Amino acid sequence: MEFTELGDYPVPPGILTRWHPCADGEWRDDPRPASYIHEAHLRRFHAGRSRPSWLGAAFEVHDEWDATAFAAAVAEWVARHEVLRSHTALDIAGTRRRTLAPGAVQAAARVHECADSETNSIVLQRIFDVTASPHTWPSYALATIEHRMVDETGWNETGLDATRDRGGFTVLFAADHSLIDGYSVVLVAHELSSLYRQARGGGPAGLPATGSYVDFGARERETEVDPACAAVELWRRELTDGLAEFPLPIGARTDAPQRSLSEWVLDEDSADRFAAAARDAGAGFFAGILACAGLAGRRVADEREFRTVVPVHTRDDPAWLSSLGWFVGLAPVRFEVGDGGFAAVAQRASRAVRDVRPAGAVPFERVEELLDTPIRPRFVVSYLDLRSTPRSREWPRWNARALRSRQFTHDVYAWVNRTPRGVNLAVRYPANALAGPAVEQWVAALRESLARAAEGYPSVELRGVG
């Protein structure tokens, strides 16, 4: 599954319907506090330091369109995930939460005129940017587009989109980042499509029981953090050297939205060979990816040490495995690249990843509080293995995509997702004349290092790859 902005997704022409969740019950005061990351997100927005920051999903449902069934699916989905029917706001005392009971949310429809792809994309961008905000409920938006085709005389509202030969409809979803993380996003297609089939009489959706991110936040707040713990000391040491930077200069800050790219850097077979090469070196897949990122930095900038920041998931209980929420911490990673080949660097990367695991046990925002300093990473490399995600082999057929909002920050983020199709690399970077070529140069070197490790396995020359 690729991870791109909405503008890079092939939004289809057709009839767009916006689905607006409405409270059909009484809001109750809820004493459970927000998670650390949720509250920090709220405060940044309240201070005017953030623009829209949402994540989302787009996918096709290859089934007959049934508005009543889709409304029922949305209501059932919101009942399943408490975070979608709970809202936290800032007040003088801190945060105040109100929550609706399961079954107390219904979905109202607003049907737009049948429109072309560009118009639908513009409308969706506006809806997502306005609605997916931490200040309002719902902090998320859902839309469907019934596929239609266009001919020289105008819209044919009875025909399906013949140019794509798909039929059915497309679902698009976006939620403020305070409600979901990257893994949450990839659960959406399977859950909503399963609930839709169930609503149309297709049998039980069969979704597993799931815990509540609201409960997670409350539990997180109850856990004491030792100011001298490993996570705090890890960041304290890192800050003495300054935060990790992208290997090449990325130019000056601009007011323009960031640019991005998305590439499939390994197919399924190559990804398996790369995994075997990393395993033979005594490293995991992510450590192998980081090793190749370090080798790319050496190739393009002669960097002999690789430094970055990596997300660390906090889904430390089976109850959270199918939950929507922001279950993420951050940890600094550094290791020597030197003159080594893939195997040697992968071993160092593996040790570095192992050493930062304690950081996942402490909320990143709590670390900032204890160090009394804001930490804004400038170079981040994220990895998700999504092969075991339900129905992940269907994603290409569903035209499924993970989406993110436009960003205006001065940093470089790289997301590496391993799926049944292979490995996708997505990168966002500043919109200036220097950053684009720099990122493209680094990505080319990274892709070459990945390919050489995969193609060289099981060659005896593996340990000289670099």
Pairwise CA distance, residues 179 & 280, whole Å: 39
Q: Which residues contact 210 (CB under 8 A, 6 or more apart)?
A: 80, 81, 319, 320, 321, 322, 323
Contact 86, 30 (CB under 8 A): yes
Of 298, 288, 289, which Cα lies nearest the Cα of 337?
A: 298
The beta strand positions in 129-234, using DSSP E, are: 140-147, 149-151, 154-156, 169-176
Strand partners, 416: 383, 425
- Using DSSP, state whether 75 is helix, strand or coil: helix
Residue 207 has what DSSP assignment?
P
- The β-bridge relationship of strands 105-115 and 140-147 is unpaired
Cα of 424 vs its chain's centroid, Å: 13
Please name the amino acid found at residue 21.
P
Strands 379-385 and 412-419: parallel
Per-residue model confidence (pLDDT) at position 302: 98
Q: What is the pLDDT of residue 466?
A: 41
Burial class (CB in 10 A: 0-12, 13-18, 19+), 201: exposed
Q: 96: burial class by Cβ within 10 Å (0-12, 13-18, 19+)?
A: middle
333 and 291 Cβ atoms separated by less than 8 Å: no
Q: How far is CA 352 from CA 56, 172, 311, 347, in A?
A: 31, 38, 14, 9
Q: CATH assignment of 227-464?
A: 3.30.559.30
pLDDT of residue 48: 77
pTM: 0.93
> Helices 435-456 & 285-301, crossing angle to 10 degrees?
130
Region(s) of the chain under CATH 3.30.559.10 = 2-218
SS3 31: coil
d(CA 422, CA 272): 9
Pair 139, 178: CB distance under 8 Å: yes
Walk along the chain (466 residues) and give the pLDDT tens digit of each residue.
999 999 999 999 999 999 999 999 999 999 999 999 999 999 998 887 778 999 999 999 999 999 999 999 999 999 999 999 999 999 877 899 999 999 999 999 999 999 999 999 999 999 999 999 999 999 999 999 999 754 444 444 433 333 334 569 999 999 999 999 999 999 999 999 999 999 999 999 999 999 999 999 999 999 999 999 999 999 999 999 999 999 999 999 999 999 999 999 999 999 999 999 999 999 999 999 999 999 999 999 999 999 999 999 999 899 999 999 999 999 999 999 999 999 999 999 999 999 998 887 899 999 999 999 999 999 999 999 999 999 999 999 999 999 999 999 999 999 999 999 999 999 999 999 999 999 999 999 999 999 999 998 765 344 444 4
Cα gap 186→322, rounded to integer Å: 10
The half-sphere exposure of 46 on its side-chain side, counting CA atoms within 13 A, is 14
Q: Computed from CA positions of residues 364, 366, 370, 371, in that sequence, does the dihedral angle turn out positive or negative?
A: positive
End-to-end alpha carbon distance in the chain: 28
Backbone angles phi, psi at 317, to 5 degrees: -140, 140
Best CATH choice for the domain 2-218 from the list 3.30.559.10, 1.10.10.60, 3.60.21.10, 3.40.50.2300: 3.30.559.10
The confidence score (pLDDT) of residue 94 equals 83
* 381: nearest Cα among 286, 263, 264, 285: 286
CATH 3.30.559.30, the chain: domain bounds: 227-464
User: Measured between alpha carbons, how far is 138 from 319 in angstroms, rounded to an integer?
Assistant: 24
Task: Return the beta strands (E) in 356-395 as ranges.
Answer: 379-385
Q: Are 283 and 347 in contact (CB under 8 A)?
A: yes
Measured CA to CA, the distance from residue 258 to residue 149 in angstroms comes to: 33
Site of tokens 């996942």:
360
Q: Is 399 left (phi over 0), alpha (psi -120 to 50) or beta?
A: left
Q: Token pair 């995930």 is at which residue?
A: 81
| Residue 459 confidence (pLDDT) | 57
